[in-house]
Amino acid sequence: MKHTLKVDQVRDGLWLDSDITYTQVPGWLGNTTRDLKLSVIRHFQTNDDTRYPVIFWFAGGGWMDTDHNVHLPNLVDFARHGYIVVGVEYRDSNKVQFPGQLEDAKAAIRYMRANAKRFQADPNRFIVMGESAGGHMASMLGVTNGLNQFDKGANLDYSSDVQVAVPFYGVVDPLTAKTGSASNDFDFVYRNLLGAEPENAPELDSAANPLTYVNSNSTPFLIFHGTEDVVVPIKDSEKLYDALVENNVPAELYEIEGASHMDVKFLQPQVFKIVMDFLDKYLTRS
């Protein structure tokens, strides 16, 4: 049977621009050079001045292993709603200790600002989002705007500031994450991150704790945590929320009933709508 169909264009086409080198860092025992990659879900070019807000995603993995592409299929929902989505590789703790991971993340943000025209990115609407260890990254980025000591590498003429932070069940204080966890199976990840046990290295622990940096200039935060998380204590997200509120920083905390660590509940449309409504509220269009 032959059909003639008129199709209305109701959404953009999307490209996946994968595994782009955004910076280079020391490799094998400091004797070689390692590329760090990011992948971009971007919109078909419009050949005009259209600019899209950018969501940077940082995967979890206890700083032991990362995969910047693993959650991109789940994050297409945001691209369909007008965002660019960037999955960012950062070095694990076998390669570098903190603050190397934060330095990597800030390098990725600077790279996207330096190449904003290429991707049609709006440099004034950058969102950081991540889960678990990646949630820690999102939180650290949200509270360190303007702290240049974490800016290392290329594109230093560009800012690494972000406009909104969305941590999902993110680590806050490495010490209380270790001592407050219902399981000791992952205690070692904090030693690997810091290079020492957090209880024996208060200065290192403080440097890697977002609570150390919270101030009235911190970016708005949307925090998610599951009530059944036995890996990262929900009380730590509550402490982060309280600190933000005490400093008059816009913040919302959603505790997801029955959700465990890395639960599929966090990937549901109901949650994503909360995220997009929050972004609509706090992002200012250029």
> What would the mean pLDDT of 160-165 be, rounded to a whole number?
98
pLDDT at 201 > cutoff 90: yes
pLDDT tier at 285, thresholds 50, 70, 90: low
pLDDT tier at 182, thresholds 50, 70, 90: confident
> What would the mean pLDDT of 276-284 be, rounded to a whole number?
94
Report DSSP state, residue 226.
E
Using DSSP's 3-state secondary structure scheme, residue 24 falls into strand
Written as one string, the DSSP assignment of 151-196 is: --SS-TTS----SEEEEES----HHHHHHH-S--TTTHHHHHHHTS
> Residue 69 corresponds to which amino acid?
N
> What would the mean pLDDT of 252-268 be, rounded to a whole number?
96
Which pTM does this prediction carry?
0.96
Cα–Cα distance measured from residue 163 to residue 40, given in angstroms and rounded to the nearest whole number:
19
Share of the chain above pLDDT 90, in %: 90
> What would the mean pLDDT of 9-16 be, rounded to a whole number?
92
Contact between 94 and 65 (Cβ < 8 Å): no
Contact between 127 and 166 (Cβ < 8 Å): yes
Write down the pLDDT at residue 185. 81
The torsion defined by the Cα of 253, 145, 267 and 277, in degrees rounded to 10, comes to: 70
Q: Model confidence over 82-102: pLDDT tens digits?
A: 999 999 999 999 999 999 999
Write down the pLDDT at residue 135. 98
pLDDT tier at 186, thresholds 50, 70, 90: confident
Write down the pLDDT at residue 235. 96
Contact between 132 and 57 (Cβ < 8 Å): no
Fold of 14-282: Rossmann fold (3.40.50)
Mean pLDDT taken over the chain: 95
- C-alpha distances (whole Å) from 137 to each of 91, 98, 169, 208, 242 are 12, 11, 11, 10, 19
Write down the pLDDT at residue 8. 93
Question: Domain coordinates of the chain in residue numbers?
Answer: 14-282
Share of the chain above pLDDT 70, in %: 99
